[in-house]
Amino acid sequence: MAAKIIVLFFCFVTCLLPVCCDVLCQNGFCTEHLKKAANQCRPTAPDCGYNNATRSGLRLPSPTICNCCDYCLPLYGRNDECSLGGPGDGITIGRCGHGLTCSNSTRTCVRMKTPCHDAQDQYDTRFGRNEIGAFERRPFCDEKGKYAAFECVPSQTCFCQSVEGKRLFGEVLYTGPLQNMPCGCSRFNDKVKSLIDRNVPYPVAGPACTGDGNFNPVQCLDNRCFCVNRITGRRTGSEEINLTRQPITRLSCYDKELDLFPQLSEGDPPYNMMTPCYKNIEQKKKIIEGGLRGGFIMDYFNTFDGMECLPDGSTGRIGRLVNGSKICVNERLQRIGTYIADPGTTEYNSMDCKCAVTASLMSSSTSRPICCRNGNFRRIQCHRGLCRCVDSDGRQIGKENRSVRNLDCFREINNDNWQHC
Ligand SMILES: *[C@@H]1O[C@H](CO)[C@@H](O)[C@H](O)[C@H]1NC(C)=O
Ligand SMILES: *[C@@H]1O[C@H](CO)[C@@H](O)[C@H](O)[C@H]1NC(C)=O
Ligand SMILES: *[C@@H]1O[C@H](CO)[C@@H](O)[C@H](O)[C@H]1NC(C)=O
Ligand SMILES: *[C@@H]1O[C@H](CO)[C@@H](O)[C@H](O)[C@H]1NC(C)=O
Ligand SMILES: *[C@@H]1O[C@H](CO)[C@@H](O)[C@H](O)[C@H]1NC(C)=O
């Protein structure tokens, strides 16, 4: 109990009162502190100084007062000996490196067994057999062996993905092999969605994202809006506005380019940060609540079916014409291209508009993917005389070939009319 209180207090001091510790740990404190023999730093593991293929380490804040000392956690390589006890007290005891784990039976570092590592192994096997296509990429896994935050289709786009490798909201143009996409907001929303109790009657919104999967710099809770870091989502500064009286344009972090519906911040108060999608849900909520007051119960779940908003607050990428046909739309509810699908057709049921969105992101490129009439990826894509099969996200499957007839997916389609879909 006492320990708990101390931990809580410690957190209170360090987490909530940075001012207090800044004062304690201000410039010069460590120099004075380390002068005392009892406080001298112990030698650190040398591994952080090498950082080559066989020896590396992780520099961490040392568990000493004000982090005055350096600390290096050695990371063991594959097949190196390891202990199962964790970092322990020793200064030179480390743990298995990224993607590795200590094996019970051999007490050496072995590769973690995860779906992402399995996917890498599969890729490597196919690479050995010369079966990898020109636009395929070896999956990226993180240090825990989970899928990295994003995946790219080279020369096309990159998109966010979950730790299980499921595609998530957030897509940007491909800029090269060193591209990075943190996707923190997109992943946060995915987590919120998976944690929400299924009995919560109304769709729940997570933090607002931008189209690249990052946090929108302006976040609102109830009617209070403030600024956050676009990558971490953490609040920055103490600025805050009351949406009832002030528009979000007053915030220094407001960026008109990122505001999908700037017209909502114009005119007289009260203002709101509602997108048309949220407004729709709000309206439906009112009707249902009215119904409840009137004594009849409505089926929440069917009512809100397919009404969920995307993490950027937009309605999704499929729109509907008054006559019932589906079309592709962008985040500002503007139609993309002339993609269309009429009710009662298979194209209507399978419509996802993924190709339409990718092609519109690539509007200034000359190597845009070919989309079907309903905005889905055409199964066969050709580039400079070589054709390849792609999945519904436009990722290449298998090796390319000069003749479509040699492609596996052509055999599935088995139709000389493959160019039209
Ligand atoms: C890494 O550095 C260590 C220590 O200097 C050295 O023994 C080892 O051979 C190096 N490994 C490589 C691959 O350079
Ligand atoms: C390793 O040991 C732990 C505890 O003894 C056990 O729960 C776990 O299943 C073991 N793992 C393997 C791969 O043997
Ligand atoms: C915002 O302003 C309105 C109107 O002045 C006020 O009623 C409300 O309490 C304020 N909200 C906050 C969170 O300050
Ligand atoms: C709906 O209207 C669009 C254009 O206005 C048209 O192309 C499409 O065929 C119509 N769909 C149906 C089912 O009539
Ligand atoms: C195309 O496929 C055929 C049959 O599988 C194969 O013999 C040929 O080498 C492939 N050509 C290219 C350019 O990959």
Q: Within 6 Å (CB) of ligand 4, which residues are found?
A: 321, 323-325, 340, 342
Give CA 157 to chain center in angstroms: 14
- pLDDT band of 11, cuts 50, 70, 90: very low
pLDDT reported for residue 42: 81
Lowest mean pLDDT among 61-75, 300-314, 403-417: 300-314
Cα separation, 66 vs 28, whole angstroms: 11
pLDDT reported for residue 4: 33
Q: Within 6 Å (CB) of ligand 1, which residues are found?
A: 50, 52-55
Please state whether the peptide bond connecting residue 311 to the residue before it is cis, i.e. omega within 30 degrees of 0.
no
Helices vs. strands in the chain: H and E counts, helices first = 11, 17
Q: Which two tokens stand for residue 84?
A: 């199962």
273 C-alpha vs ligand 3 centroid, how far in Å? 15
411 C-alpha vs ligand 5 centroid, how far in Å? 15
Question: How many other C-beta atoms lie within 10 A of the C-beta of residue 160?
Answer: 28
Taking only Cα atoms into account, the Rg of the chain, rounded to an integer number of angstroms, comes to 27
Residue 398 near ligand 5, beta carbon < 6 Å: no
Site of tokens 């990122």? 258
Q: What residue's CA is closest to ligand 5, atom 4?
A: 406
Pair 159, 150: CB distance under 8 Å: yes
What burial class does residue 338 get, using C-beta atoms within 10 Å of its C-beta: 0-12 exposed, 13-18 middle, 19+ buried? exposed
Q: What residue's CA is closest to ligand 5, atom 9?
A: 401
Question: pLDDT (tens digit, 9 = 90+) per residue, 354-374?
Answer: 999 999 999 999 889 999 999
pLDDT reported for residue 323: 92
- Which of 48, 51, 52, 78 for a ligand 1 pocket mutation test, highest count of atoms within 8 Å of Cβ? 52
Residue 191 near ligand 5, beta carbon < 6 Å: no
% the chain with pLDDT above 70: 87
224 C-alpha vs ligand 3 centroid, how far in Å? 9
In this structure, is the dihedral angle defined by the CA atoms of residues 268, 274, 279 and 282, taken in order, positive or negative? Answer: negative
362 C-alpha vs ligand 2 centroid, how far in Å? 49
326 C-alpha vs ligand 4 centroid, how far in Å? 9
Cα separation, 328 vs 89, whole angstroms: 59
116 C-alpha vs ligand 2 centroid, how far in Å? 21
Task: For residue 281, give the 3-state DSSP assignment.
Answer: helix
Determine the atom of ligand 5 nearest the C-alpha atom of 402: 13
Residue whose C-alpha is closest to residue 203's, from 284, 264, 259, 275? 284
Query: What DSSP letter does each residue of 219-261 carry, written as one string?
Result: EEETTEEEEB-TTT--B-SS--EETTTS-GGGSTT--GGG-S-
Predicted confidence (pLDDT) at residue 30 exceeds the cutoff of 90: no
Residue whose C-alpha is closest to residue 55's, from 64, 45, 63? 45
pLDDT reported for residue 51: 79
- pLDDT band of 22, cuts 50, 70, 90: low
Strand partners, 101: 110
Cα separation, 414 vs 201, whole angstroms: 46
DSSP label at residue 263: G
Lowest mean pLDDT among 13-17, 159-163, 191-195, 279-283: 13-17
Predicted confidence (pLDDT) at residue 202 exceeds the cutoff of 50: yes
Note the CATH number of domain 318-413: 4.10.800.10
